[in-house]
Amino acid sequence: MKDKRLSVLAKSLVVYSTAVKPGDKVLVESKGAATAPLVEEIITEVAHAGGLPFWYFNDEHVERRWILGAGEQQLKDFGKMHLRMMKDIDCYISVRGADNSYTLADVPSQRMGWYRKYFYKPVHLEQRVKRTRWVVMRYPNEAMSQLAETSRESFEDFYFSVCNIDYAKMSKAMDPLVDLLKKTDKIRLVGPGTDLTFSVKGIPPVKCDGHRNIPDGEVYTAPVRTSINGVISYNTPSLNESVLYEGIRFEFKNGKIVKADCAGGNGAKLNKVLDIDPGARYVGEFALGIHPNIKHPMRDTLFDEKIFGSIHLTPGQCYDEAPNGNKSSIHWDLVLIQTKEYGGGEVYFDDVLIRKDGIFVHPALKELLSARALRGGH
């Protein structure tokens, strides 16, 4: 029996997120066999919209073999081939449902560096992100359920409550926060192990309201590149290239991460990531998470960065929509939850308290951006 929730999600991805029009070339990339039912619904919706779909099934086990076996020149040519394909499409929809989140854990860092430099950066960061209408999402398979430490059935219920929310309503509720950020110069973050200041003056804020990531629910901008000073202690685990990092702590001086460490003995790997290029030790994004149905981390960035009452401060590449001049082959969203359950904390805009313990307290925000209002309750 077909799950009607998949049809609702597929239509949202095609009609709302990527706004497929007649004649649009649509690349649908999926990872993991479990994604097939949703891909079928997406292809159907693309057909109804008059688009021209091309579906590409990927697999991280095959991807791992390629990265391990290919030389540097082969990876360069691989990137060029995929770049030609990406340049020829109008829309990109990615459904990610890999069955093992740690498949790339044992790939040598040099080879992963080549892969990021010659494939991910030119094909995705430079071409797909900047020049197509795109949306990226996870699929609720067994691996995601395990990361969330729940049953498959319970996770699916959570997943659809998150992904099938009314994003048009959420978008409207974000407008006052966008307006406030436009007027802001200095931001200060305070919490356990965190006291950080930076400027966002002159850098536009952008609302993420279901057009690029599913789930969505954040407003982002970027710090002035050399303005960050202080320390931040992230309290959310981050799975990056099949390595799990916990307790990440950065010290900043004039925008640069001058000291980085973490728990669990992965400090050396953390610093290798940050040393991949000069821009990796500077920040390309600052965002506030507002999704009312995401409350706890599940080691998946697309969900964790949207947690209601969170922020993320991102080493690496900035977005063109909120440019601060930082260039890098990485863009690593690291999350700090500021709700009472996770230690609390405050966000200040120009010395005015905006959010306390994850709850917006500013008069212009506290009603529209309350969890109940975003969820649609009364």
State mean pLDDT over 136-146.
84
Alpha carbon 176 to chain centroid distance? Answer: 22
Residue 326 banded pLDDT, cuts 50, 70, 90: very high
At 63-82, the pLDDT tens digits run 999 999 999 999 999 999 99
- What are the structural domains of the chain? 4-163 (3.40.1830.10), 167-375 (no CATH)
Q: Per-residue pLDDT for 148 more than 80?
A: no
At 7-25, the pLDDT tens digits run 999 999 999 999 999 999 9
pTM of the predicted structure, to 2 decimals? 0.79
What are the tokens at 89?
């499409």
State mean pLDDT over 223-249.
95
What are the tokens at 247?
């307790």
- Model pLDDT, residue 136: 92
Q: Per-residue pLDDT for 376 more than 80?
A: no
Long-range contact set of residues 115-123: C-beta below 8 Å, sequence gap at least 24: 115/67, 115/75, 116/276, 116/329, 116/330, 117/329, 118/72, 118/75, 118/76, 118/78, 118/79, 119/75, 119/78, 119/79, 119/82, 120/329, 121/317, 121/329, 122/79, 122/83, 123/79, 123/82, 123/83, 123/86
Q: Per-residue pLDDT for 232 more than 90?
A: yes
What's the count of helices (H) and strands (E) in the chain, helices before strands? 12, 19
Residues contacting residue 2 through CB under 8 Å, at least 6 positions apart: 37
- Model pLDDT, residue 328: 94
Q: Per-residue pLDDT for 140 more than 80?
A: yes
- Model pLDDT, residue 377: 43
State mean pLDDT over 104-133.
91
At 240-297, the pLDDT tens digits run 888 899 999 999 999 999 999 999 899 999 999 999 999 999 999 999 999 999 999 9
- Model pLDDT, residue 298: 86
Residues contacting residue 14 through CB under 8 Å, at least 6 positions apart: 20, 26, 42, 45, 46, 48, 49, 51, 93
Q: Per-residue pLDDT for 166 more than 90?
A: no
